[in-house]
Amino acid sequence: MNKRAKRFEYKERNFDDLKERTKSNFKERDSFIKSDFKLYKTKDGANKLRVLPPTWEGAKHYGLDIWLHYSIGGNGDGFGSTYLCNYKMLGKECCIDIETKEAEARGEKAYADSLKASRKVLMWVIDRTDEEEGPQLFAMPPNIDRELVSQSCDEETGSVRFIDHPEKGFDFSFTKTGKGKNNTKYSEYKVAWSSTPLSKNPDKVDEWIDYITDNPIPSVLNYYDDAYIKKVFSGHVFKAAEDEEVLEEKPEEEEYTYEELTNMSKNELVNLAVEVGLEKIKAKALGGDALIEFICEELKIEVPDIGEDVPMGDEKEEEDKPEPAAAVRSFREKLNSMKNKG
């Protein structure tokens, strides 16, 4: 593990990654981690990870508690960027905290909740299903971290399994179900029965450990000035982020079809409608069909003509569609007026 010869290879990879990042559209949003690091995105279904040990001075846990403000700014798209809370992290002034307190004082609880900093546990992990990616940063929801810790401790004997040990640690798996910000659920947390080395290839172990030693968690954090965040915040519309999943979810990349929408539950439709800009209270008041209409309108999803069956399979609508039926038009007008009133 002390072979330092691997360091050069490491930096080379790091540089390639960095170059790659500048090409991707990832940089369009501000991020709470520096742009040369990869963020692990939880997958639908099984997630199998190996947690890497902490490499910073005085660490008591493999993860570092971080506090994030979600959905700041966003240019009206409803998503915005995620910022570290300058108050909770550094003890400095945080304009979002101030806004949160003021909103609470005004009795605007939902708005205040959407602003409030939420905690994540940031750690280095290896994705066992994609080890080629190397160490990735995982902003683990606290409930997963709690589960992981409790499964690592044997209450009766008082013994602890050091899951992050490079030679005799334990892999960890969990399942993600549900879609969208509000319906995502994690379950089936499982720490492996037997310990395994971080990798069967000792060179890999060296490489990964070198990498995280060079990049301890506190050094990957990307802070922004309060004045800058204030500018982002005040210049744009805010949308509620009601779930801790905003970070991993990138709803703007998801494409829905009309058919998928018709298979969603009312609750899912409400959440999606809120994501694309409808106020929750209004979304809840609408029926399923109306919600689908609204979402299609906002996301520019092709809608089959009202009154006809949804085309199935290969049966395609003609290219130049006629004007929407009067009923649909008036419905859209109604929705627009609702939106404007809000």
**Residue corresponding to tokens 């005799």:** 168
Residue 88 beta carbon to Zn ion: minimum distance, rounded to whole angstroms: 6
Whole-number minimum distance, CB 100 to Zn ion, in Å?
Answer: 8
Is the Cβ of residue 70 or residue 331 nearer to Zn ion in the bound state?
70
Residue number with CB closer to Zn ion (72 or 163): 72
Instruction: State which of positions 61-120 bind Zn ion (CB under 5 A).
Output: 85, 87, 94, 96-97, 117
C-beta separation of 111 from 103 below 8 A = yes
Nearest distance from residue 66's CB to Zn ion, in Å? 11
> Which C-beta is closer to Zn ion: that of 87 or that of 223?
87
Token pair 């309108």 in the structure block, residue: 297
**Contacting Zn ion within 129-148 (CB under 5 A):** none
- Closest distance of CB 70 from Zn ion, Å: 11
Least Cβ distance, residue 36 to Zn ion (angstroms): 25
Contacts of 319 (CB under 8 A, 6+ apart): none
Give strand pairing partners of 72. 81
Q: How far is the CB of 89 from Zn ion (least distance, A)?
A: 8
Q: Which of residues 288-327 bind Zn ion (CB under 5 A)?
A: none
- Least separation, in Å, of the C-beta of 67 and Zn ion? 7
For Zn ion, the closer CB: 90 or 306:
90
Size of site (CB under 5 A) for Zn ion: 6
Rounded CA gap, 232 and 80, in Å?
Answer: 9
Nearer to Zn ion, 83 or 208 (CB): 83
Q: Minimum distance between the CB of residue 69 and Zn ion, rounded to whole angstroms?
A: 6
Say how far apart CA 230 and CA 285 lie, in whole Å.
34
SS3 per-residue string spanning the chain = CCCHHHHHHHHHHHHHHHHHHHHCHHHHCCCCECCCCCECCCCCEEEEEEECCCCCCCCCCCCEEEEEEEEECCCCCCCCEEEECHHHHHCCCCHHHHHHHHHHHCCCHHHHHHHCCEEEEEEEEEECCCHHHCCEEEEECHHHHHHHHHHHEECCCCEECCCCCCCCECCEEEEEECCHHHHCEEEEEEECCCCECCCCCHHHHHHHHHHHHHCCHHHHECCCCHHHHHHHHHHCCCCCCCCHHHHCCCHHHCCCCHHHHHCCCHHHHHHHHHHCCCCHHHHHHCCHHHHHHHHHHHHCCCCCCCCCCCCCCCCCCCCCCCCCCHHHHHHHHHHHHHHHHC
**Nearer to Zn ion (CB atom), residue 85 or residue 126:** 85
Question: Least distance (Å) from Zn ion to the CB of residue 62?
Answer: 25
Q: Which is nearer to Zn ion, 42 or 86 (CB)?
A: 86
Of residues 96 and 335, the one with the C-beta less far from Zn ion? 96
Query: Which residues in 188-247 contact Zn ion (CB under 5 A)?
Result: none
Residue 110, amino acid: A
Token reading at 88: 């909770």
Nearer CB in complex with Zn ion: 119/165: 119
Binding site for Zn ion (CB under 5 A): 85, 87, 94, 96-97, 117
